[in-house]
Amino acid sequence: MRRKLPSFVLVVLFALATAGVAAAANGGFTPVTPESPNASHTQTAYYVILGFTSAIFVLVEGLLVVFIVKYRRRGRDRAVEGAQVHGHTRLELIWTVIPVLILCVIAVVVFVELPKITDAPASNNPVRITVEGHQYYWQFDYPGGARSIGTLHVPTGAVVDLKVISPDVIHSWWIPALGGKIQAIPGHPNHLWFKANKPGSYEGQCAELCGVYHASMLATVVAEPQRSYENYISTTAGQTIGKQEWSGVCATCHGNLGQGGYGPAIANNTLLTQQSALEGILENGFTGTQGAMPPVGKGWTNAQISALVAYVKKHIYKAAPLGATSGG
């Protein structure tokens, strides 16, 4: 019993570990449920490769266990050789030909699916949106000049052509349910497409380590009916851009109410009410005794700066009590 106990413990631990992965479902071994044609083709290639590799793993590990048991020493003196197994031509041909056939099948599937992943379906009027990665947020520019921060709005069922760029460092745009990832490289625009099959909210994140606060660089794609999308880019985006800038850029470091977090508390800082001073910090960044801030607003328009100042004056800024010093 003592000899079997370690093996039993290992089996139990392995079962617990694999049970956790199985319970994780899409968060474990398998991709998230695809909601765009290119994501579906990616999943097809994934499952074909997973099926073959899983079968090979089970076969090889199973044979390994069988051989360990069958050819164990069984009390034989260490100086005595075990039973000798000589070559078997037919068996050697089989284990050479089968892997070749498996690789051929995988290659055919990959090369059939790859064009469907990279090439957008024909569309007379794709929605062209620029995705701009910044430290540490995503900015979206729509047809007609509308802009949003952190959340991308698209019409359901339409082909969306993304131009992915970056003004600072390398980022990686990735919404798993809507296709693969693409790098945002300074000076080198990249393109990616997707077509959301149904209305919904699809979560993603920057998949490239882009700095010390990279983990906060999340993204959301909201797929909605055409009329809702048009209303958003014509009206809602402009009306809420100040709030979006605060929530999607400033608050990630300074807290939802400016109370501080990764960055210092700024709710009492009078710079929030001074457009020229705030514009200089956003455009050029800031280095002080409490750390460094990247130029998060580089390229923002005067209208954006004004919207942010108006929002923080109304919802964030609180004058410091008399005799107190303001944060920086």
Give the pLDDT confidence of 260-319 residue by residue, as tens digits.
888 888 888 888 888 888 888 888 888 766 667 888 888 888 899 999 999 998 888 787
Percent of the chain with pLDDT over 70: 86
Give the pLDDT confidence of 143-169 residue by residue, as tens digits.
989 999 999 999 999 999 999 999 989
Per-residue confidence (pLDDT) for residue 15, from 0 to 100 = 57
Average pLDDT for 217-235: 95
Its CATH architecture, for the domain 19-72+86-118, is Orthogonal Bundle (1.10)
Delimit the CATH 2.60.40.420 region(s) of the chain. 125-328
DSSP for 65-119? HHHHHHT--TT--TTS--------HHHHHHHHHHHHHHHHHHHHHHHHHHHHHHS
Delimit the CATH 1.10.287 region(s) of the chain. 19-72+86-118
Per-residue confidence (pLDDT) for residue 328, from 0 to 100 = 44
Average pLDDT for 36-61: 90
Average pLDDT for 164-185: 93
Q: Exposure pattern of 257-287 as b/e (b: 16+ CB <10 Å)? A: ebeeeebbbbbbbebbeebeebbeebeeebe
Task: Give pTM, 2 decimals.
Answer: 0.79
Fold of 125-328: Immunoglobulin-like (2.60.40)
> Does 5 score more than 50 pLDDT?
yes
Range with the poorest average pLDDT among 14-28, 55-69, 85-99, 287-301 = 14-28
Average pLDDT for 35-59: 90
